């Protein structure tokens, strides 16, 4: 990262057009019905703290800890925490209740997080930035933070790191109806641009290019700013996007979204100035490196031409964590927890007044312990998925946050879906006055996790625990392991699974399998942390012919798991089975069948 981080010290000017330049979406306008009625005034007295958004004409860099000479406006509490004084400074009025800024972390050490919160208190259990890559990493996120009693905000990190703080706007209190600065959330996030050919685009934007994006389809003429997500994907190299006004000839020396290398997918929330030129509402996006560009619109702020009202005013809150699925370990379709599985959704109800007085809420949304490249989408609970996204990650094991404003549903709040699996964390920072949406459908169901092949770990309690793998049957079993019978099912499928192991050699892992009785359990653990529990139903004796063995495994309906081993067969000289379940003969097989009873996360 080079010129994407500005060093300009110019104090920003207040711009009543309500513009702010911010610093997250991969997965198509109607304005919010009922949240801000068109053509009517709303004279309800707003609650304490209700505020309207105002913007600086351009971002103001207040903090850059990388530069010893750039120390204006903050005090260092210790090596992990600084205080940034804002009220009455840098264009922020004495009456301001909250500020909006882009915070960039520049990490050169171990995994880290950065939290922004009202100054004067202890560090809350929230975060705004996560930096987990070893070595140099730069990451930016839009933050909206309530001011502390001393008119300041604090920034704290898990370990020492550099931080950049670019102020872009503030909220000022209202006592009655106002025109500008109120938020209107769309009922459904709308995608206005996707350059990927598979989605109708013409190809990636070029390096060092400036691109025009038309928002006219979803942003009305009386809007002053649009709340959008910009996403970079299939990046060619490290780089950034900068979003700026259409009429501005020179782009600002700042960035809205940063990524750290080729092949990345990253998203960032942006509040972008909307100018009305020739009947259109357009913005510009500069790209430092070649990448596909995706733009989603989630809502807009009203302008001076809007009828006065109080709906859409912002009520800032002390940040609080309202969801962390990592804290649970039992997974089911009703209350998903832990690291969720692909296409799983979690509903989140809201605390306090936000549950009944809000049309939208402001959250910092984080995907953690990701299972692979994918995304999170947040949208009103019990509404159809909008086909967009808010947080994007490029590989397993990432922790990625993004600022988000989402509509909510009466009684049910919002919902978050993970496309490819992740833990979900949400920190509430405030809400926008208005009417929650009505539910349009029942609760979102969660599909079973996708099937997963070996390696598995088989445990028969009290008897044995062994790995199960594919390969050559003789080589695998002679190594004392369980062999996944080629062509039989995988865990998570509606199929019959067959596992073969020795009973009298190579450690004899299945020596005592004959002692299993109906109702006994065994289980298979997967590499991604699932446990599938099987309950014995029956057992069979058959010869060594493969088709007969497999027919025995299919004696019960799938999904099932069968344990197979050699056994003693019929003794023709004595016309009886001496002990037909005991070890061992290669001429006959014992087949113990179990039905799938349940599964859960470890």
| Residue indicated by tokens 């009417």 | 435
* pLDDT given for residue 569 in this prediction: 62
Q: What is the pLDDT of residues 365-375, one digit of tens each?
A: 999 999 999 99
Question: Among candidates 149, 77, 158, which has minimal Cα distance to 119?
Answer: 149
Element (H, E) at 546: helix 546-553
Angstrom distance (rounded) from CA 376 to CA 572 = 65
* pLDDT given for residue 570 in this prediction: 58
* pLDDT given for residue 333 in this prediction: 45
* pLDDT given for residue 419 in this prediction: 97
Q: What is the pLDDT of residues 118-165, one digit of tens each?
A: 999 899 999 999 988 766 678 899 999 999 999 999 999 998 888 999
The pLDDT > 90 percentage for the chain reads 72
Give how far the C-alpha of residue 84 lies from the chain's centroid of Cα atoms, to the nearest Å: 29
Angstrom distance (rounded) from CA 253 to CA 198 = 33
* Residues 25, 31, 33, 39, Cα dihedral to 10°: 150
3-state secondary structure (DSSP) of residue 346 = strand
Question: Among candidates 163, 170, 164, 139, which has minimal Cα distance to 12?
Answer: 170
User: In this structure, are residues 364 and 317 in contact, taking their beta carbons and an 8 Å threshold?
Assistant: no
* Residues 454, 457, 460, 466, Cα dihedral to 10°: 100
Q: What is the pLDDT of residues 246-300, one digit of tens each?
A: 988 888 877 889 898 999 999 999 999 888 888 899 999 999 999 999 999 999 9
Where residue 242 falls among pLDDT bands split at 50, 70, 90? very high
* pLDDT given for residue 330 in this prediction: 46
For residue 159, give both structure tokens: 């370990």
Cis peptide upstream of residue 584 (ω within 30 degrees of 0): yes
| Residue indicated by tokens 């086909």 | 387
Question: Among candidates 100, 54, 51, which has minimal Cα distance to 310?
Answer: 51
Angstrom distance (rounded) from CA 316 to CA 51 = 8
Angstrom distance (rounded) from CA 145 to CA 101 = 8
Q: What is the pLDDT of residues 565-599, one digit of tens each?
A: 998 765 666 665 566 777 667 888 999 999 999 99
Question: Among candidates 458, 452, 514, which has minimal Cα distance to 482?
Answer: 458
Where residue 486 falls among pLDDT bands split at 50, 70, 90? very high
3-state secondary structure (DSSP) of residue 139 = strand
* pLDDT given for residue 275 in this prediction: 85
Angle ∠(498,499,503) on CA atoms, nearest 5: 135
Lowest mean pLDDT among 51-65, 500-514, 578-592: 578-592
Which domains are delineated in the chain? 14-433 (no CATH), 456-601 (2.40.260.10)
* pLDDT given for residue 574 in this prediction: 60
Q: Residue 82: how many CA atoms within 13 Å on its side-chain side? A: 22
* pLDDT given for residue 20 in this prediction: 33
Angle ∠(67,70,76) on CA atoms, nearest 5: 90
* pLDDT given for residue 577 in this prediction: 59
Instruction: Enumerate the H helices of 354-451 as residue ranges.
Output: 354-357
Angstrom distance (rounded) from CA 165 to CA 66 = 12
* Mean confidence (pLDDT) of the chain: 88
Q: Which positions ≥6 away from 184 have C-beta within 8 Å?
A: 31, 32, 35, 36, 223, 299, 300, 301, 302, 312
* pLDDT given for residue 43 in this prediction: 47
* pLDDT given for residue 300 in this prediction: 97
Q: For the residues 529-558, what does the mean pLDDT come to?
A: 95
Where residue 41 falls among pLDDT bands split at 50, 70, 90? very low
**What residue ranges in 108-262 does DSSP mark as E strands?**
112-118, 129-131, 137-146, 152-157, 162-173, 183-194, 209-214, 223-233, 239-245, 257-259
Strand-pairing partners, residue 78, are 81
3-state secondary structure (DSSP) of residue 450 = coil
3-state secondary structure (DSSP) of residue 262 = coil
Q: What is the pLDDT of residues 67-77, one digit of tens each?
A: 765 546 678 78
Q: What is the pLDDT of residues 87-104, one digit of tens each?
A: 999 999 999 999 999 999
Angstrom distance (rounded) from CA 325 to CA 316 = 24
Strand pairing report for 112-118 and 74-78: unpaired
Q: What is the pLDDT of residues 376-417, one digit of tens each?
A: 999 999 999 999 999 999 999 999 999 999 999 999 999 999
* pLDDT given for residue 495 in this prediction: 96
3-state secondary structure (DSSP) of residue 597 = strand
For residue 262, give both structure tokens: 């080729």
């Amino acid at each position: 990262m080079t010129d994407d981080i500005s060093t300009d010290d110019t104090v920003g000017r207040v711009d009543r057009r309500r513009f702010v330049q911010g610093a997250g979406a991969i997965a198509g306008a109607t304005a919010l019905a009922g949240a801000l009625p068109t053509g009517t005034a709303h004279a309800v007295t707003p609650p304490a703290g209700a505020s309207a958004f105002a913007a600086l004409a351009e971002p103001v860099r207040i903090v850059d800890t990388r530069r010893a000479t750039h120390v204006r406006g903050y005090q260092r509490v210790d090596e992990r925490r600084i205080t940034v004084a804002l009220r009455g400074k840098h264009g922020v009025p004495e009456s301001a209740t909250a500020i909006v800024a882009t915070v960039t972390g520049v990490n050169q050490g171990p995994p880290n997080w950065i939290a922004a919160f009202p100054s004067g208190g202890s560090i809350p259990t929230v975060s705004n930035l996560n930096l987990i890559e070893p070595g140099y990493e730069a990451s930016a996120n839009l933050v909206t933070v309530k001011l502390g009693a001393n008119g300041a905000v604090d920034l704290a990190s898990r370990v020492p790191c550099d931080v950049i703080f670019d102020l872009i706007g503030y909220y000022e209190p209202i006592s009655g109806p106002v025109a500008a600065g109120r938020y209107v959330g769309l009922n459904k996030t709308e995608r206005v641009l996707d350059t990927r050919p598979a989605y109708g685009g013409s190809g990636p934007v070029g390096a060092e290019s400036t691109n025009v994006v038309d928002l006219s389809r979803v942003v009305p003429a009386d809007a002053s700013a649009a709340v959008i997500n910009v996403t970079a994907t299939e990046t060619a190299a490290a780089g950034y996007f900068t979003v700026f006004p259409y009429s501005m000839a020179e782009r600002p020396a700042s960035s809205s979204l940063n990524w750290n290398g080729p092949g990345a997918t990253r998203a960032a929330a942006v509040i972008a100035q909307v100018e009305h030129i020739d009947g259109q509402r357009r913005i510009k996006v500069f790209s430092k490196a070649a990448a596909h560009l995706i733009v989603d619109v989630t809502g807009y702020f009203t302008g001076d031409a809007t009828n006065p009202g109080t709906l859409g005013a912002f009520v800032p809150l002390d940040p609080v964590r309202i969801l962390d699925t990592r804290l649970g370990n039992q997974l089911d379709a009703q209350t998903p927890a832990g690291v969720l599985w692909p296409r799983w959704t979690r509903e989140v109800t809201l605390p306090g007044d936000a549950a009944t007085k809000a049309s939208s809420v402001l959250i910092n949304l984080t995907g953690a312990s990701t299972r692979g490249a994918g995304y999170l989408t947040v949208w009103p609970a019990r509404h159809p998925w909008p086909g967009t996204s808010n947080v994007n990650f490029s590989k397993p094991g990432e922790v990625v946050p993004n600022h988000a404003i989402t509509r909510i549903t009466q009684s049910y709040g919002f919902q978050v879906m993970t496309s490819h699996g992740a833990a979900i964390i949400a920190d509430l920072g405030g809400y926008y006055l208005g009417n929650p949406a009505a539910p349009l459908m029942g609760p979102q169901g969660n599909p079973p996790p996708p099937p997963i092949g070996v390696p598995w770990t088989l445990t028969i309690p009290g008897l044995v625990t062994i790995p199960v793998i594919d390969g050559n049957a003789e080589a695998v079993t002679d190594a004392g392991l369980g062999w996944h019978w080629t062509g039989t099912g995988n865990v998570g499928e509606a199929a019959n699974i067959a596992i073969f192991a020795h009973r009298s050699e190579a450690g004899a892992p299945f020596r005592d399998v004959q002692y299993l009785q109906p109702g006994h359990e065994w289980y298979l653990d997967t590499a991604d942390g699932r446990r599938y529990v099987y309950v014995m139903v029956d057992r069979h004796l058959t010869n060594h012919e493969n088709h007969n063995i497999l027919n025995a495994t299919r004696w019960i309906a799938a999904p099932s798991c069968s344990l197979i081993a050699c056994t003693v067969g019929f003794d023709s000289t004595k016309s009886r089975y001496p002990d037909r379940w005991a070890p061992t003969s290669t001429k006959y097989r014992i087949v113990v069948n179990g039905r799938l009873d349940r599964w859960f996360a470890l």
